[in-house]
Amino acid sequence: MIKKLFLSLFITCSIYLSSDAMDANTIEYITDQIKQLCIEHPIATSVMLAATVYGISYTLMQFYKKSTRGPVKLIDSLQDQTHTPLKNTYLFAHGLAETHEQAYWYTKGKSSLPHVIDGRLFTYDFPDATKQFWRVHFPYTGLGQHTEIMAMQSAYRQMMTKLQAENTHDDGVILIGMSRGATTILNFIGHYKPEKVRALVIESPFDSTQSIVNNLLKRCYIDQIPGARTCGHYLLGGLFWHHSAVGERAIESIAMIDTQVPILIVCSKQDQLIPSDSSILLYKTLRKRGHQKVHIFIAQQGRHGRILHGPDGTKYQQITHAFYKKYDASHDPYLADLGAYLLEQSQPEL
């Protein structure tokens, strides 16, 4: 039974890291088997989960012992742009297990997906980014905390230095982020208050890593075990070395964000990694703190990191352009008109 549990937990981790490569039926079958084991043996499951995390952490420690990471390198899309004139300027922060190339999913002319970026794009890799099969350099991950905040600060400073040298875009930049990148943006804006930020478009931000832990434990049917949530939160530090259970939390950082900064939050009810409730809590808290320019789009369909890929991708695109139009940013007039009704519904009393 112990071997079976260990294998199941290992497969669970594999599903979260490579679910795009597995068909839905396979994932559903494996998940059902894991659920059954968790219900029948909750305590043993908790013990094996802890052992798995620390086992992975120790292995990674040996693997990365002598490795180092270089400084953040800013990537400027102007180098490969052929069209003019330039419109908005964007800085994109990618999600966990992705690289700067994730920004191209959102960019006009870079993919076949509905676009929300049309202009000069700056992006960069977080220190944990890799194209290797393991997808994440775990020792360099803070899940939106200090390590990522410092990376974003470095990218922002490099971008502003370049723009100031060119004497362009004094009207500010739009920050766009996905999941961990979205949460990093909120923490960065709250703690460092950069002046040249025109608006934020943040997809699937989480209020705190505790919410992620609670959601994963609930999916494994072990969230009611006494101490499981607290232990699970601290165990994140064993897997993601720069994460701290008492580190920066977006739900606290947003209290320091200027109420005049327009914010569009995007989330999905189908997101099984970052529950929509976590993003909604950020929206509700911002509203309570007097942010009259915060909006939210809650997609009915769309997996984590794949809302643009889903049936609600066009609505995501339309409301974003309507958002740009409302706050005097460059936009597609046709898409903005289509998204006007969505923007009108984007400030609900939740």
Question: Which domains, and CATH codes, for the chain?
Answer: 1-70+222-244 (no CATH), 75-208+249-344 (3.40.50.1820)
For residue 55, the model assigns a pLDDT of 58
Dist CA 74 CA 159 (whole Å): 7
- Cα Rg of the chain (Å, integer): 20
Per-residue pLDDT of 280-329, as tens digits, reads 999 999 999 999 999 999 999 999 999 999 999 999 999 999 999 999 99
Structure tokens at 277: 């409730």
Ramachandran region, residue 120 (left: φ > 0; alpha: ψ -120 to 50; beta: rest): beta
Task: Check whether 174 has a pLDDT greater than 90.
Answer: yes
Between 105 and 239, whose confidence is greater?
A: 105
Whole-Å CA distances, 30 to 11, 22, 41, 217, 316? 8, 11, 16, 16, 31
Between 11 and 47, whose confidence is greater?
A: 47
For residue 218, the model assigns a pLDDT of 83
What single-letter amino acid sits at 31? T
Structure tokens at 264: 């569009």
Residue with tokens 């905040």: 149
Whole-Å CA distances, 282 to 269, 303, 308? 15, 20, 21
What is the band of 44 on the pLDDT scale with cuts at 50, 70, 90?
low
- Is the CA virtual torsion 235, 1, 22, 218 positive or negative? negative
Residue 299 gets which letter from DSSP? E
Element (H, E) at 46: helix 42-63
Sheet holding 119-123, edge to edge: 75-76, 119-123, 88-93, 173-178, 197-203, 263-268, 294-299
Portion of the chain with pLDDT greater than 90, in percent: 56
Dist CA 282 CA 327 (whole Å): 21
Task: Check whether 1 has a pLDDT greater than 60.
Answer: no
Work out the average pLDDT over 197-219: 92
Residue 294 gets which letter from DSSP? E
pTM for the structure as a whole: 0.81
What is the band of 168 on the pLDDT scale with cuts at 50, 70, 90?
confident
Work out the average pLDDT over 98-110: 94
Q: Which residues pair with 92 in a beta bridge?
A: 123, 176
Structure tokens at 209: 């890593």
Work out the average pLDDT over 28-48: 62
- Per the CB < 8 A criterion, the answer to whether 136 and 69 are in contact is no
- Mean of the per-residue pLDDT values for the chain? 84
What is the band of 215 on the pLDDT scale with cuts at 50, 70, 90?
confident
End-to-end CA distance of the chain: give it in Å, rounded.
45
- Per the CB < 8 A criterion, the answer to whether 212 and 273 are in contact is yes
Task: Check whether 169 has a pLDDT greater than 80.
Answer: no
Task: Check whether 54 has a pLDDT greater than 70.
Answer: no
Q: Which of 107-111, 226-230, 286-290 has the lowest mean pLDDT?
A: 226-230
Dist CA 107 CA 119 (whole Å): 8
What is the band of 25 on the pLDDT scale with cuts at 50, 70, 90?
low
